[in-house]
Chains A and B, each alone.
Chain A
Amino acid sequence: MKRIRLWAPALLLMSPSLLALALFVYGFIGWNLRVSVTSWRGLLPKYDFVGLRNYAALMSDARFMQFDVPHIAIFTLVFVGGTLALGFCMALLLDKKLAGDALFRSVYLFPMSLSLIVTGIIWRWLLDNGNDASTTGLNKLLESAGLESLRSDWFRSDSAWAIAAIALPAGWSLSGYVMSLFLAGLRSVPEELREAARVDGANETRVFWHVIRPMLVPVLMSAIVILAHISLKTFDLFYAMDAKNIKIDTPALYMWFTTFDGGFYARGAAIATLLLLGVALVIVPYIAYTVREERRR
Chain B
Amino acid sequence: MMRSLEIGATGMQAQQMNVDVISNNIANMTTTGFKRQQIDFKDLMYQNIERPGAQSTDQNTILPSGLQLGLGVKMSSTYRVNEQGPVQITNNPLDLALNGNGFFQITMPDGTTAYTRSGVFQENQDGEIVTTQGYKLDPVITIPNNAISVTINNSGQVFAQISGQTQLQNLGQIQLANFVNPTGLEAIGDSLFKETEGSGAPTTGNPGTDNFATVRQGSLENSNVNIVDEITHLITAQRAYELNSNVIQTSDQMLQTIVQLR
Question: Do A and B interact?
Answer: no
Which residues of A are at the interface with B, using a C-beta cutoff of 8 A?
none
Which residues of B are at the interface with A, using a C-beta cutoff of 8 A?
none
